[in-house]
Amino acid sequence: MNDENRKQTWLIATPVIALLLWTVVYPNVSVIAGSFENGLEHWREFASSPSDREALTTSIVISFASVVAALAIGVPLAFLLGRFEFPGRKVLRAVAALPAALPPLVGVIAFLFLYGESGVVTRSVQHVFSMPEAPWRLSGVPAIIFVHAYTMYVYVFLFVSAGLERFDSTLDEAASGLGASGWMRLRRVTLPLLMPAIAGSALLVFMNALGSFSAPYVFGGGIRVLSTQILVSKLNGALGLAYVETTVLAISAIAGLLLFRWLDRKRKYTLSAKSSRQRRQIKSRGLQTLTAIGAVVVVILLVLPHLMVVLVSFARDGAWTTQVLPPEYTLDNYRRLFSEAELWKPIVNSVSMALVATAANVVICFLAAYLIVLRRFSGRKLLELLVALPWAIPATAIALGLAATFNRNDIASLRVLLVGTFWILPLAYFIRDIPLVASAVESSLKQMDPSLEDAARGLGASWLLTMWRVIIPAAKPGLVAGALLAAVTAVGEFVASVVLFTHANRPISMEILAQLRALAFGTAAAYSVLLILLVLAMTFAARGFEERIA
Q: Where are the domains of the chain?
A: 1-26+328-550
Which residues is 168 bridged to in the sheet?
Answer: 276
Taking residues 27-37, what's their average pLDDT? 90
Q: At 360, which amino acid appears?
A: A
Three-state SS at 276: strand
Looking at per-residue confidence, does 268 or 429 come out higher?
429
Look at strands 84-85 and 280-281 and give their pairing. Answer: parallel
Taking residues 149-156, what's their average pLDDT? 87
Three-state SS at 85: strand
Distances (CA, A) of 359 to 366, 408, 473: 11, 26, 17
pLDDT computed for residue 273 by the predictor: 45
Q: How far is CA 455 from its chain centroid? A: 40
At residue 217, does pLDDT exceed 90?
no
Interaxial angle between packed helices 104-115 and 521-549, expressed in degrees from 0 to 180 and rounded to the nearest 10: 140
Taking residues 503-530, what's their average pLDDT? 89
For CA atoms 33, 34, 40, 42, the dihedral sign is: negative
pLDDT computed for residue 417 by the predictor: 93
pLDDT computed for residue 406 by the predictor: 93
Question: CA-to-CA distance for 418 and 406, rounded, in angstroms?
Answer: 5
CATH architecture of 1-26+328-550: Orthogonal Bundle (1.10)
Residues 6 or more apart from 519 whose CB is under 8 A from it?
317, 318
pLDDT computed for residue 98 by the predictor: 76
Taking residues 376-380, what's their average pLDDT? 86
Which pTM does this prediction carry?
Answer: 0.82
pLDDT 10s digits, 318-374: 888 778 888 889 999 999 888 888 889 999 999 999 999 999 999 999 999 999 988
pLDDT computed for residue 58 by the predictor: 94
At residue 425, does pLDDT exceed 70?
yes
Taking residues 144-148, what's their average pLDDT? 92
Whose CA is closest to 53, among 269, 225, 306? Answer: 225
Q: For the chain, give the percent of residues with pLDDT over 90.
A: 27
Cβ atoms of 49 and 265 within 8 Å: the answer is no
At residue 538, does pLDDT exceed 90?
no
